[in-house]
């Protein structure tokens, strides 16, 4: 092995040993604290932490050491550890003006928004700078709780304390952007950047507005890169670069930028999340699982972490685990659309069709619903046998993004609804053949079943089954199609095969029970799949 490489790897270990030994040989905690301050001034946080821990071994009630350790841990991204040390420093009587903003930031980063407003909304600090910083973070906590009045009041207090306080101005720009005044928001950010061209937070938020408000990803990427370059080790800026590239499907570029983030923010929740997301997008679900499990060890209640973890378990066909994770994610943050969609898909895959229907948004007519959720809702109603309602949902889903094969099905479905049947079905067939997913397949099958064209429906089911050989859903749909022509024996075979693939697939179990009831009553010739008791599945 290269000797220089060995030396490089051993250097941090050697430093740690040297500092520990130095601590043993020098029992003056004040000198250790002074040394730690020097290390922090030179951005050598690990060395500072070692010195501060040495000082606290000698004198556990040294308030300044507790404060500096909390500050250093916060720099490293260890917010729970930072909060503990800062709280101890506060209990020891350290300066409230210095401690309070850092303590509030540690709690904000852990999602303790209500705790922040309950404890600090009425607190006043003695210096304008400290008070402006505190009030700005209280405003953020109000914003996270969707309390606009509290947000605006705290923000006004911050700007009264210090009218040019950059973080408060950035939040003011955020308020403008929330009201769709993107030009006004950018104008405020321009004043911040004009005064401080290296204000990383302002540059990063400008990127957010350019991406989400102006829909200009290229300018947004430039702003994100500028924010990452403006401040050494600015994780939010570099993470935004990675996130945008992932959103564009540029996985290789995202991986390169993620390596840069990992170099200075490795092991942090944000980095672990992006590593899991990259692995997920590459189809490496086991790798994604490893990364997200590390994140959940650090932040077990993180809604977005639980959401991604649930999606990963769904892809690994660990449906019980997926259901538990996604349910917990939605309990923590009911507005997580991806978690809700994957929970519905999880119920669908396990054959719990009634529970899938119950997990859908209550207002499916809402024009703001995302197309992916509409597509999933279409699948639910298709499996329930409500073909017309399913087709309407597929049509709405597809119209929202005509370039996505999972959604551009709308053009064909619109043609169907206008009576241009042959053209529409040919279009659906082409989309289904080209797309690795099954949304278009489902729409095509649904269209044939709605027209009671069983042969074409079965042919489309054959194509879908090649994509989802281990999924019981195609067999479940085959059983439904066969019921359309009163082939109870064939339907029973299909439902049995579905149950063989997954013994706990409740939709197949319920359908088999329903077929038994129809046969027992001697009404096989009149069987209608839409009317089968329990055929929609059991919750």
Q: Which range in 157-161, 402-406, 502-506 is most confidently predicted, on average pLDDT?
A: 157-161
Q: Let me know if residue 178 belongs to a domain.
A: no
Q: What is d(CA 426, CA 416) in angstroms, rounded to the nearest whole number? A: 11
- Residue 228 Cα to chain centre, angstroms: 22
- In what helix (H) or strand (E) does residue 139 lie, and over which residues does it extend? helix 128-144
Whether residue 211 lies inside any domain: the answer is no
For every residue of 68-135, DSSP letters joined together read: HHHHHHHHTT-HHHHHHHHHHHHHTT--HHHHHHHHHHHHHHTT-HHHHHHHHTT---SSHHHHHHHH
Q: Which residue has the tokens 């606290």?
A: 56
In a domain, 329, yes or no: no
Please name the residues in contact with 256: beta carbons below 8 A apart, sequence gap of 6 or more: none
How many Å apart are CA 361 and CA 18, to the nearest integer? Answer: 59
Mean local confidence (pLDDT), 351-363:
93
Within 10 Å of residue 113's Cβ, how many Cβ atoms? 19
The string of pLDDT tens digits covering residues 469-486 is: 888 889 989 998 999 888
**414/408 Cα distance (integer angstroms):** 10
Residue 528's pLDDT band, with cuts at 50, 70 and 90, is: very low
Asked if residue 415 is part of any domain, the answer here is: yes
pTM (2 d.p.): 0.66
Q: What is the CATH number of the domain that holds 380?
A: 1.25.40.10
Length of the chain: 539
Query: Among the listed ranges 246-255, 270-279, 340-349, 430-439, which one has the minimum average pLDDT value?
Result: 430-439
What is the pLDDT, as a whole number, of residue 509?
84
Q: Which domain holds residue 483?
A: 353-531
Total count of domains within the chain: 1
Q: Does 18 have pLDDT greater than 50?
A: no
Helix axis angle for 200-208 and 182-195, nearest 10°, is: 160
Tens of pLDDT, residue by residue over 286-311, are 999 999 999 999 889 888 899 999 99
Q: C-alpha distances in angstroms, 316 versus 266, 312, 470, 498?
A: 26, 6, 12, 19
Percentage, residues of the chain above pLDDT 70:
84
The CA–CA distances, whole Å, from 6 to 20, 25, 31, 266, 360 equal 22, 28, 32, 21, 56
- Is the pLDDT reported for residue 276 higher than 90? yes
Q: How far is CA 446 from CA 392, 474, 501, in A?
A: 11, 12, 23
Has residue 209 been placed in a domain?
A: no
Contact yes or no for 141/113 (Cβ under 8 A): yes
- Whether the Cβ atoms of residue 140 and residue 172 lie closer than 8 Å to each other: no
Which conformational region is residue 77 in: left (phi greater than 0), alpha (psi within -120 to 50 degrees), or beta?
left
Mean pLDDT of all residues in 379-401: 82
**Domain assignment present for 525:** yes
- Within a domain: 479: yes
Residue 84 lies in a domain: no
């Amino acid at each position: 092995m290269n000797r220089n490489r060995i030396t490089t790897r051993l250097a941090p270990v050697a430093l740690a040993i040297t500092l520990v030994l130095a601590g043993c040989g020098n029992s003056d905690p004040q000198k250790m604290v002074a040394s730690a301050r020097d290390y922090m001034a030179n951005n050598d946080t690990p060395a500072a932490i070692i010195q501060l821990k040495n000082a606290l071994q000698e004198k556990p009630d040294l308030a300044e050491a507790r404060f500096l350790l909390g500050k250093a841990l916060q720099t490293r991204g260890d917010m729970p550890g930072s909060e503990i040390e800062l709280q101890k420093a506060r209990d020891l009587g350290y300066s409230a003006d210095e401690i309070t903003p850092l303590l509030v930031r540690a709690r904000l980063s852990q999602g303790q928004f209500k705790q922040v407003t309950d404890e600090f909304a009425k607190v006043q600090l003695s210096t304008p700078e400290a008070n402006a910083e505190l009030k700005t973070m209280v405003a953020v906590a109000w914003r996270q709780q969707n309390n606009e009045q509290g947000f605006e009041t705290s923000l006004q207090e911050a700007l009264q304390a210090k009218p040019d306080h950059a973080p408060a101005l950035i939040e003011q720009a955020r308020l403008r952007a929330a009201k769709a005044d993107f030009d006004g928001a950018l104008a405020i950010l321009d004043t911040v950047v004009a005064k401080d061209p290296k204000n990383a937070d302002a540059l990063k938020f400008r990127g957010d507005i350019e991406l989400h408000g102006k829909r200009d990803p290229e300018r947004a990427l430039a702003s994100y890169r500028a924010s990452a370059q403006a401040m050494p080790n600015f994780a939010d800026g570099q993470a935004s670069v990675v996130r945008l590239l992932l959103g564009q499907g540029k996985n290789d570029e995202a991986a390169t930028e993620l390596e840069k983030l990992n170099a200075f923010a490795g092991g942090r929740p944000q980095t672990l999340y992006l590593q899991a997301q990259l692995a997920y997008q590459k189809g490496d679900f086991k790798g994604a699982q490893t990364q997200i499990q590390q994140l959940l060890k650090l932040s077990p209640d993180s809604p977005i972490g639980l959401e991604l973890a649930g999606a990963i378990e769904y892809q690994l066909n660990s449906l019980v685990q997926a259901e538990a994770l996604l349910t917990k994610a939605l309990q923590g943050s009911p507005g997580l659309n991806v978690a809700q969609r994957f929970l519905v898909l999880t119920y669908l895959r396990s054959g719990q069709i009634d529970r899938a229907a119950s997990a859908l948004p209550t207002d499916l007519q809402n024009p703001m619903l995302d197309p992916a959720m509409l597509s999933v809702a279409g699948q639910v109603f298709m499996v329930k046998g409500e073909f017309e309602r399913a087709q309407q949902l597929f049509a709405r889903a597809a119209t929202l993004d005509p370039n996505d094969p999972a959604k551009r099905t709308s053009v064909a479905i619109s043609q169907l609804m206008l009576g241009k049947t042959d053209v529409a079905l040919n279009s659906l067939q082409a989309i289904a053949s080209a797309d690795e997913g099954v949304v278009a397949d489902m729409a095509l099958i649904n269209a044939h079943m709605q027209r009671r064209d069983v042969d074409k429906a079965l042919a489309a089911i054959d194509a879908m089954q090649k994509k989802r050989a281990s999924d019981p859903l195609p067999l479940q749909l085959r059983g439904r199609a066969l019921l359309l022509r009163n082939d109870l024996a064939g339907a029973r075979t299909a439902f049995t095969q579905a149950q063989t693939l997954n013994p706990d697939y409740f939709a197949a179990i319920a359908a088999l029970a329903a077929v038994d009831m129809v046969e027992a009553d001697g009404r096989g010739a009149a069987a209608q799949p839409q009317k089968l008791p329990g055929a929609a599945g059991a919750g």
